[in-house]
Amino acid sequence: MIRRDLNGMTLLAFDWIFLIEKLVLIAVIITASLVIAMYETYAERKVAAWMQDRRGPNRAGPFGLLQPLADGGKLFFKEEIIPNSANKWLFILGPSLAMLTAMMTCAVVPWGSSLHLFGRVIDLQVADINIGILYVFGVVSMGVYGIMIGGWASNNKFSLLAALRGASQVISYELAMGISLIALLMMTGSLSMKTIVEQQIANPHWWNIIYQPLGFLIFFTCAMAECNRAPFDLPEAESELNMGYHQEYSSMKLGFYLFAEYINMFISSAIMATLYFGGYDIPFVNEASLAPNTAAILGVLSLLTKIFIFIFVFMWIRWTLPRFRYDQLMDLGWKKLIPLALANMLITAVVILLKNH
C-alpha cells in the first residue's frame, strides 16, 4: 500500500492501522451476522407461532430469548455421526463450505457510510471492490457446492438425489436472478455496491425499486429460491421428503447447514436492501446535513431496519404459502421468471437508450 507522507515523500509502507481497522470490521460483521442469524431462528419460531395463533418459545429466559443458545448447545452435545461409507473429508467440507459461502458475501456489502474516528476515515465496508455484485454472485453460486458435496459425500442415494434437486433449483433461479440484475446494472452503470448506494442517496434520484419494480420482484423471488426458503424449500422438504441433502448429518454439522440458511437469508436481505432500497440511506433525511458520525450510525441502523423488514417478509411468506411441487418450481423458474426478466431487461435497455438520445 502506498501512502503519502506528511513531508511529501512517497514511501512504500504498509498501513498497519488499516489492517487492524479491517480486521476489527470483519470481526464485528461476522459476529453480528452470526448473532443475527441466531436470533433469526428465534424470530422464525415466534413469527410462525404468531401467525398460527400460538405463543412460540417462551420458556428459556425472558420471552424465550435464550432459546437459540439452548438450541445451539443441544446441537453441540448431539452425537457426531459420520456414516461408514461416507467420504470423511467431503462430508466435513460440505457444511463448512455452506457456512463459508454464506459468510463470505458480507465482505462487499456497504454497511454504512464512513466513521470519522481518531483522525481517520473508516469505511463501514470490508472491501469496496469494483465488481461487488459479480463477487456476490460468484460466492453465492459456490453455495451449490455446499449442497452438492454434502449430498455426494453422504454416499446415500436419497441424499444424492436431494442434492441434485437442490442444485438444479439453485442454478435455475440464479439465471433469472442474474438477468433481473442486469437491468439494474444497466441503470447504475457500476458493479460496486458502494456506488450503487451512493447513486440512490444522491438527491434527485430515488431508490432503485421505483425504477425496477418488476426486476425487484423477480430478484426477491429468486433470492427466496436461492436461500431454499419456503415456498421453495424443496431441497429440504422436511414434511414430505424428510430433510434431503443433509439427511445423514447430525450434531453441529447439521446445525451449520441450517444456520447457513439463516445467514444466507440475512445476507440476501442486506443485498436486496442495498440494491433496491437505498442501502444505508435514511429515507426523507438529507444525510449531508447531519454530522458524519451520526449519519453513519443512523445509516447502519437504517440498513439494519430494512434488513429486518426483509427477513420478516421472508418469514411471513414462509408461513403463508405451501411448498411448490417440483414441476411447478421448474415451470415458474424457466417459463415465467426468465422470460419476465428478459422482457424487463429489454424494456430497461430501450428506455435507457431513448433517454440518452
- Which positions lie near another protein, rule CB under 8 A? 47, 50-55, 58, 217, 316-317, 319-321
Give the nearer residue to another protein in terms of CB position, either 89 or 316.
316
H or E segment to which residue 122 belongs: strand 120-123
Q: How far is the CB of 241 from another protein (least distance, A)?
A: 23
Q: In angstroms, rounded to a whole number, what is the distance separating the alpha carbons of residues 357 and 355? A: 6
Cα 36 to Cα 1, 71, 156, 255, 291, distances in angstroms: 34, 15, 33, 15, 28
Question: What angle is formed at CA 43 by the lines to CA 34 and CA 126, rounded to 5 degrees?
Answer: 30
Give the nearer residue to another protein in terms of CB position, either 58 or 130.
58
The grid cell for 101 is: 459461502
Q: How far is the CB of 319 from another protein (least distance, A)?
A: 6
Q: In angstroms, rounded to a whole number, what is the distance separating the alpha carbons of residues 33 and 314? A: 17
Q: What single DSSP character describes residue 331?
A: I
Nearest to 197 by CA among 137, 125, 135, 290: 125
Contact in structure between 143 and 102 (CB atoms under 8 Å): yes
Give the nearer residue to another protein in terms of CB position, either 242 or 320.
320
Give the nearer residue to another protein in terms of CB position, either 172 or 302.
172
The grid cell for 167 is: 442444485
Q: How far is the CB of 167 from another protein (least distance, A)?
A: 25
Q: How far is the CB of 54 from another protein (least distance, A)?
A: 6
The grid cell for 4 is: 503519502
Give the nearer residue to another protein in terms of CB position, either 31 or 58.
58
Q: How far is the CB of 342 from another protein (least distance, A)?
A: 18
Q: How far is the CB of 75 from another protein (least distance, A)?
A: 26
Give the nearer residue to another protein in terms of CB position, either 55 or 88.
55
